[in-house]
Structure 1
Amino acid sequence: MKVKVALRILLERSVKKMGKGMNPIVKAAALEMIERAYNEGIYVQISAGYRSLEEQASLYGQGRVYIYNGKNYSNLAKPNVTNAKPGQSYHNFGLAIDFFIVSDDGKKAIWTVNSKWQRVAAIGKELGFIWGGDWSSFKDYPHLEMTGGLSYKQLQAGKKPYITSPKTSKGDGHIMSIQKTINSRYKTSIAVDGVYGPKTRSALIKGLQVELNKQFNKKLVVDGKWGPKTKTAVITIKKGASCNITWILQAALYMKGFNPGTLDGEFGEKTEAALYKYQKASRISADKLAGKVTWNELFA
């Protein structure tokens, strides 16, 4: 009797392959895809995630002569594998993954694009990914990406994509609870649909503006916009803080795919751990303090 590969193994292998530069929501969606496919008897792994510019140069140099930043990345002994130069792949911004199917025991990679492969791609698309197999000019069957509507040039210029949390057919129950609390506490009327979209983000910012005005007399316009005055007005909170601003931090972390435990407004061990993991994943100072840089990363 064959032993079925454990879901934990597929997830651990995939996390390692995706690397540390992944957008946290894209990473969460990739892991959700693996779990959903597993529940349907399809065993999936991620083969690639974040790719540095140097790694992209090395891939682009396969099959051609290529110089990047004064270094020769030519490798004529290997065939072309990509037409994307450094900075021209969403992998370089942590917004793309590549996947493949594995055998039931998890020991063999299967690259045949069959019904199982197409089902995984369909799950990925349900979660918000764009599938390379749908492209007309060049079919890239292992490839899935979330671009946030941004071009390579915009990303190279430092613009950050706005990507919502992984979509589910019924909506995320925790997000629905957050949405209900926001409506009740801050007199908003956002849809309780379990999806972190632009209106929920704006409502969370409104809540933060209300709390800053109430607790710190900041005199902000409560407009739900992440503008210069709100960016300047935010305060730094840390472990031990107990207030509605901590609740907003917890809600924002959950929306980004980092679970702070119970959303109770208490900055405890789990909230600190979630914040630290988010800071590390976002490649900002992992100081376990929710200060201006962290707030800006959460809402910009």
Structure 2
Amino acid sequence: MAVSLQTLIDRSIRNMGSGIHPVVKETAIEVIKRSYKEGIYVQMTSGYRSFAEQNKLYAKGRTAPGEIVTNARAGQSNHNYGLAVDYVLLSSDGKTTIWTVNTNWKRVAQIAKALGFAWGGDWNSFKDYPHLEMTGGLSLSQLQAGKRPVLVSKVNNKTPAVPKSTKKQSSKKSSSSGGRAIVRTIQSTLNKRYKLNIKVDGYQGPETYKALLKGFQTELNKQFHAGLVVDGEWGPKTRAAVVNVRKGAKGSITWILQALLICKGYDVNGLDSIFGHGLEKAVRAFQKANGLAVDGVAGRVTWTRLFA
């Protein structure tokens, strides 16, 4: 008995995640529907990935067991912006995955491209056959800087509105997803605390990271008389002035550490300036994902990787 279309759609929606762009989601579902009509059974295997999830994937075959599956760190994949999905073919009963890039696989890619997707199988340097993406013409550097595309669906020629949650999120939930609300809070606090004027838009781009580094330099000057130029540049003097921050610490430097990890997609269990168990766990996760010594202490090497 053939797997039902609805089963394929339901599985795919679950795999794409809540952070997927609505146009990408709608179009991916349409790919499944059109393929199904031709007797090709397609399922989306992934979609949106948080920065933490991307780093965990990057660690495979490097600092974690398994084979290397991606060359992209956090922020270096269009999946991190909800603009990409991966697909696989299934047997007619929906129980067996088929990874062979055969005629049916290429037919799915053809359907997807007709609906506005770019296919990784067309890339020159690295063929990524399961990969489909929509970037609206934006480069990765533009996405990293906080820009977002305006995508128009070829399914109905409309741009679906991004649904707004009716439930108030807790700071813990927001911090775990690197959500725009908590990032806006970070940006507003940086402006107020360090007399900056960065854009409060909820996107953790280079401007936000530079502001966090300026705050870090300011705190090193204030608390440890480091004598640094507050320029937002990670130079040898700033690196040499770094202090170790560990469980039990409190204050503005701990807040900056929490903010950095939140912007990179880690759950620090609240933005409260207190180095507790949640922050230690996030530091350890970041260290492991980046091939560093895992000790839960934010020392010179960890700060360097956070700001680099």
TM over 0.5: yes
Residue of structure 2 in register with 1:99 after alignment: 86
| Structure 1 segments unaligned to the other structure (5+ residues) | 12-29, 54-58, 60-88, 123-130, 150-161
Deviation at 1:257, TM superposition (A): 1.2
Counterpart position of 2:45 = 45
Contact 1:238–1:289, Cα closer than 8 Å, also in 2: yes
Q: Once structures 1 and 2 are overlaid, which stretch shifts more, 107-116 or 138-147?
A: 138-147
- Counterpart in the other structure of 2:183: 175
Per the alignment, do residues 167 and 90 of structure 1 end up closer, same or farther by CA in structure 2, a change over 3 Å counting? Answer: farther
Kept in 2: contact 1:275–1:288 (CA 8 A): yes
The aligned residue for residue 113 of structure 1 is: 109
In structure 2, the CA distance between the partners of 1:39 and 1:231, relative to structure 1 (3 Å rule), is farther
**What is the CA–CA distance in structure 2 between the aligned matches of 1:114 and 1:187, rounded to whole Å?**
52
Q: Deviation of residue 134 (structure 1)?
A: 6.3
Distance (whole Å) between structure 1 residues aligned to residue 288 and residue 126 of structure 2: 34
Q: CA deviation at 1:99?
A: 2.4
% identical equivalent positions: 41
CA contact (8 A) 1:38 1:44 kept: no
Q: 1:115 to 1:244 in 2, by over 3 A?
A: farther
User: Aligned-pair distance for 1:291?
Assistant: 0.4
Alignment RMSD (CA, Å): 4.5
Task: Please state how far the C-alpha of 1:172 moved relative to its aligned partner.
Answer: 1.4
Alignment of 1:262 with 2:258, yes or no, is: no
Deviations 1:4-28 (A, max 9, x none): 43866x48xxxxxxxxxxxxxxxxx
Rounded to whole Å, the distance in 1 between the matches of 2:195 and 2:94 is 51
Q: TM-score, normalised by structure 1?
A: 0.59
Give the structure 1 partner of residue 120 of structure 2: 132
Distance in 2 between the 1:289 and 1:137 partners?
Answer: 39
What does residue range 215-294 of structure 1 map to in structure 2 within 5 Å? 215-294=223-302
Match of 1:197 in 2: 205
Tell me the alpha carbon deviations over residues 68-92 of structure 1, each in whole angstroms, 9 at most, x when there is no partner: xxxxxxxxxxxxxxxxxxxxx9934
Distance 1:195-1:285 versus aligned 2 partners, 3 A rule: same
Distance 1:296 1:163, change over 3 A: farther
Gaps of 5+ in 2: 30-42, 48-53, 80-84, 99-104, 151-161, 163-178
Note the C-alpha offset of 1:142.
2.7
Distance in 1, matches of 2:147 and 2:284, equals 21
